[in-house]
Amino acid sequence: MENREKQNVWKKVMAIRGMGQVITVTIGLIALWIVFGLLSPSFYSARNVGNLLRQVAPILIIGIGQSYVLITGNIDLSIGSVVGMSCMISATLMTKGMNPWAAMLLTILICIGVGVLNGLLVAQCKLPPFIATLGTMTVARGVAQIVNNNYNTDAIGEAAQGYRNLFYYGSTFGVYNTIWIAVILFLVFDFLLSKTRTGRHIYAVGSNIEASKLSGIDTDLITIKVYVVSGFCAGIVGLITSATAGMGTMDAGNMYEMYAVAASVIGGVSTLGGQGILIGTVVGAAIWGTLQNGLQFAGAPVAMRNIVIGIIVIISVLLDVIIRTGKPRKSKKSNHSNSVSGTSQGS
Amino acid sequence: MGDYIAELTHISKSFPGVKALDDVSFNVKAGEVMALLGENGAGKSTLVKVLSGVYTKDEGEIKLFGNPVEDLTPKKAQELGVAIIHQELNMCAHLSVAENIFLGREETHSGVLSNREMNQKAKVILNRLNMEIDPATIVGDLAISKQQMVEIAKALSTNAKILIMDEPTSALTSNEIEDLFKIIKKLKAEGCAIIYISHRLEELQYIVDRVTIMRDGKFITSMNFSDTDMAEIISNMVGHEIKEKFPRVPCSRGKKIFEVKNLNAGKMVRDVNFSLYEGEIVGIAGLMGAGRTETTRAIFGVDPKESGEIFLDGKQIDIKKPMDAIRAGIVLAPEDRKKDGLCVKLSVTENISLPNLDLLSNGIGVIDRKKEKAMTEKAVNDLQIKLPNADVDAATLSGGNQQKLVVAKWLARNSRVVIFDEPTRGIDVAAKVEIYNLMNELKMQGIGVLFVSSEMPEIMGISDRILVMCDGKITGELEIEEATQDIILQYATKFDSKFAQKEAV
């Protein structure tokens, strides 16, 4: 009886769209853990596991935002710069004596504003998302530089200790707060995406925007919403960055937009829209973090790490393409053959 | 006038450069099937899009259930009971059947989607349509015809009182059409008004009560179906009478041009053998999914072949990719114009020159614009493609003109064999005749013409010889004199039986 229930749970999990690929990638992740463990035994030390997860957390958070945007068939290139902007604005406000919590709220609101702007440019002004967010990417980086007159900020000081603990240094139940933040954001956004109407509409827009419009979905609003999510997530990561460094750095978040795409795509989110689940992004981010951390442990220089990670991204997308085209589903022709084989069996 | 469930009066609608609807009036009663007829570009689709809120009218009045309605949006129209099944499939291929049916109207339980209930309700609707589809199936995995049925289910799930069907049968097999007609009759009995747009005039007699005919964006006439006949309908549609629906040009059969021997490619192309001669048109008949399209694709080198030999003018040729076929002089005008036939975002000129750039460019690959322009002008003139100028996007052309364009790009080079896959799907009567004339002209020039069609009258009306396919094999070959609809259908349904049956051929 119990066994049967277990089977049902397993069936249910496997019935979730895209779970197949997530499991494949998870096997890859476990393989990496084994390899790095063999290369350097201290890879498994409690300290390193904690550090690894704390490294993964920000990538996961921006990955969530990017996944939302990718599932609608768009892309957000601005998030790396928004991380930098959030880092610089929060730190500058704090060094100017603003209450850290007020500074945090204001920063997040500004980042959401960038999301709204991206959404409007793409949905209302019909700009190609690549171009629109390339523009806001440059603007946001400029803002990050201008807020403190083209200097990194001073230390955000004693008054912000609570803020720094919340976002980086503190732990709750023996787990770093940064990791908790990532876990909570994942749970919230995964729920929104998989269980709510808005989530369903996000997939619909990415799958066929015309059909969605004709079904009465406000597709512009959905587009704005996903950019707001990605702006918000980037804002949170910016806060983590300023809390970590204890100051604002202008080049914070550099290249993060690409890391976010990598985490999403490795985890099975399609850049063409309509496909992907957030648990995949979690695994994708974990692979990214494991490679960074593990290669560092194995003594590989930074340049080497970049090369390896780049290759892994290409291979995972390549595998995805091969798996997809190997299946008899993509083309219309094979659909015909499906229906026919059905008929011939019947007769 | 009280019993009109939808009434549109003096509707006008313009797009930049075109007046799509010019003072059109249209009405439909509860419990009747109204056929909306007209050539491509007559404004039928625009009219129903105005009624379903996709387009806003410029002028005129819309009354639904006797009440004037302003500012119609797709959502508002849906709430009022207007549902439209679009000509082009509008499904989210990544979502499940139930998810598509309830798209935009998802049921939730304190904010959480009630998937189980939606699946159950979807099942009920699908059962009502006698469809055995699991609501959890991903729509992209279904055959096109099944997807269409899902779209109908989606429309029904809104409790629509006015159901608009834009070319619902163009992708369906005859069995499925029969099912569709049963559904239409059932809905009619339940008091729904159905607006039915179709180019297949021969279907109308089974379901239609009244017809409204449009031409060039204008209302022409409206009459009871029982008071009219096909000739009157067609002459109203085209504005002049078409004398011969299937123009046939007698030609004596010449030497063998093309031969396919023992071709195998996947499950759908099994041991296919046939030849083409000068001065004849060979039609391939069969049910949907019989492997006809697959055969053309295998010949043309789109899909890989497992085995088989192809001879052109007596010489064996090796076709591994489409380029090999084109170089040898074998070209294919594919079935799905927008997907396989044209680059719709490129201009007419660019589409025509695309497969001919080898002829148009010099040694280092620079395109000769003058030659390109000349080639386009000749093709546009030869095929009488109607367009404002050759720089417009292919997407802006009507279906019939797009089809001509697909053909035009191949005729610019001297081909030996032209293969058409469903050349007249979704285009109007007059454009069909032009395509037939074109095929006849090729035949007279001694070019081998092979065409796939699901429309039996067309196959019988235009071919000199008919090949019938079923389940990936050629099950019959008929000279036109001996072909009847019954015999063709017999061969088309000759599936391999598990009972040891003797081959009748």
pLDDT digit string, tens, across residues B82-102: 888 876 677 888 889 999 888
CA distance B312 to chain A (A): 26
Residue B232, Cβ density class (10 Å: 0-12 exposed, 13-18 middle, ≥19 buried): middle
Closest residue by Cα to residue B344 from B429, B435, B405? B405
Query: Model confidence at A337, in pLDDT bands (50, 70, 90)?
Result: very low
Q: List Cβ neighbours of A10 (8 Å cut-off, separation of 6 or more).
A: none
What pLDDT is attached to residue A6? 64
Write the pLDDT tens digit of every residue in A211-270. 888 777 888 999 999 999 999 999 999 999 999 888 888 889 888 998 899 899 888 888
Please give the pLDDT value at position A3: 59
CA dist., res. B427 & res. B399, Å (int)? 6
The number of helix segments (H) and strand segments (E) in chain B equals 17, 22
- How many angstroms separate the CA atoms of A262 and A259, rounded? 5
**Cα distance between residue A157 and residue A173, in whole Å:** 26
- Does residue A57 have a pLDDT over 90? yes
pLDDT band at B75 (very low <50, low <70, confident <90, very high): confident
Instruction: Please report where in the chains the tokens 């980037």 appear, as a residue.
Output: A234
Residue A141 in tokens: 């980086």
Average pLDDT, chain A: 84
pLDDT bucket at A334, cuts 50 / 70 / 90 = very low
Is residue A321's pLDDT more than 80? no
Domains defined for chain A, CATH in brackets: 45-326 (1.10.3470)
Task: Return d(Cα A98, Cα A103) in angstroms, integer.
Answer: 6
Q: CB–CB of B143 and A213 under 8 A?
A: no
> Which of A52, A51, A23 is CA-nearest to residue A291?
A52
Residue A292: other Cβ atoms inside 10 A: 21
Reference A59, options A149, A186, A216, A176; nearest CA is: A186
Q: What is the pLDDT of residues B20-39, one digit of tens each?
A: 888 888 888 888 999 988 87
Q: How far is B478 from chain A (nearest CA, A)?
A: 24
Other Cβ atoms within 10 Å of B116 Cβ, number: 10
Distance, C-alpha A14 to centroid of its chain:
23
Residue B64 · residue B80 · CB < 8 Å: yes
Write the pLDDT tens digit of every residue in B164-204: 988 777 667 777 788 788 888 888 888 889 999 887 777 88
DSSP, collapsed to helix, strand or coil, labels residue A127 as: coil
A207 closest CB neighbour out of B93, B146, B496: B93
- Say yes or no: A329 contacts chain B, CB-CB below 8 A: yes
Thinking of the domain B4-238, which architecture would CATH place it in?
A: 3-Layer(aba) Sandwich (3.40)
Half-sphere exposure of A14 (CA within 13 A, CB side): 7
8 Å CB contact between B256 and B312: no
Q: Which position has the higher pLDDT, A299 or B118?
A: B118
Which of B73, B94, B496 comes nearest A203 by C-beta? B94
Q: Where does the pLDDT of residue B263 fall: very low under 50, low under 70, confident under 90, or very high at 90 and above?
A: very high
E strands, B266-322, where? 269-277, 281-286, 307-312, 315-317
* Res B416: pLDDT: 87
Q: Which CA distances in Å does B161 have to B9, B64, B72? A: 20, 10, 16
Ordered by start, the domain boundaries in chain B are: 4-238, 254-329+414-423+446-496
pLDDT tens-digit series, residues A69-118:
999 999 999 999 999 999 999 999 988 888 889 999 999 999 999 999 99
Between A295-309, A312-326, A333-347, B272-286, the lowest mean confidence (pLDDT) is in A333-347
Mean pLDDT of chain B: 83
Find the range with the poorest average confidence among A59-68, B35-44, B431-440, B488-497: B488-497
pLDDT tens track for B324-360: 888 888 888 888 777 777 787 788 888 888 888 878 8
| Chain A nearest C-alpha distance from B268 (Å) | 7
Chain A residues touching residue B92 (CB < 8 angstroms): 203-204, 207-208, 211-212, 274
N-terminal to C-terminal alpha carbon distance within chain B = 60
d(CA A327, CA A320): 11
Residue B2 has pLDDT above 70, yes or no: no
- Across the range B379-396, mean pLDDT stands at 80
Kindly tell me if the per-residue pLDDT of A340 is higher than 50.
Answer: no
What interface predicted TM-score (ipTM) does this complex get? 0.72
Rounded Cα distance, B20 and B218, in Å:
8
Question: Confidence class of residue A23 from pLDDT cuts 50, 70 and 90?
Answer: confident
Q: Residues 6 or more apart from B248 whose CB is under 8 A from it?
A: B440, B461, B462
Cβ–Cβ under 8 Å, residues B405 and B397: yes
**Per-residue pLDDT reduced to its tens digit, A117-156:** 999 999 989 899 999 999 999 999 999 999 888 888 888 8
**What whole-number distance in Å separates Cα of residue B314 and Cα of residue B317?**
9
Amino acid A345: pLDDT: 32
pLDDT value of residue A347 = 29
Fold match flag (B4-238 vs B254-329+414-423+446-496) = yes
Would you call B341 an interface residue with chain A, using a CB distance cutoff of 8 Å?
Answer: no
Other C-beta atoms closer than 10 Å to the C-beta of B111 total 11
For residues A283 and A268, what is the distance between their CA atoms, to the nearest angstrom? 10
pLDDT at B497: 47
Is B225 within 8 Å of B208 (Cβ atoms)?
yes
Q: Which residue has the tokens 């909570």?
A: A184
- Residue B370 Cα distances to A137, A296, B296, B392, B423, angstroms: 43, 61, 34, 18, 30
For residue A155, the model assigns a pLDDT of: 82
Q: Give the residue from B247, B236, B283, B234 showing the smallest Cα distance to B429.
A: B234
- DSSP structural state of residue A209: H
Give me the pLDDT at residue B346, please.
81
Asked whether the beta carbons of B445 and B280 are under 8 A apart, the reply is: no
Report the gap between the CA of B344 and the closest CA in chain A (Å).
Answer: 17
- Conformation bin of residue B166: beta by default, left when phi > 0, alpha when psi is -120 to 50: beta
Q: Using 50, 70 and 90 to split pLDDT, how confident is the model at B17?
A: low
Architecture of domain B254-329+414-423+446-496: 3-Layer(aba) Sandwich (3.40)
Considering only residues A338 and B212, tell me which one the structure prediction assigns the higher pLDDT: B212
**List of chain B residues whose C-beta atoms are within 8 Å of the C-beta of residue A274:** 92-95
Type of residue found at B359: L
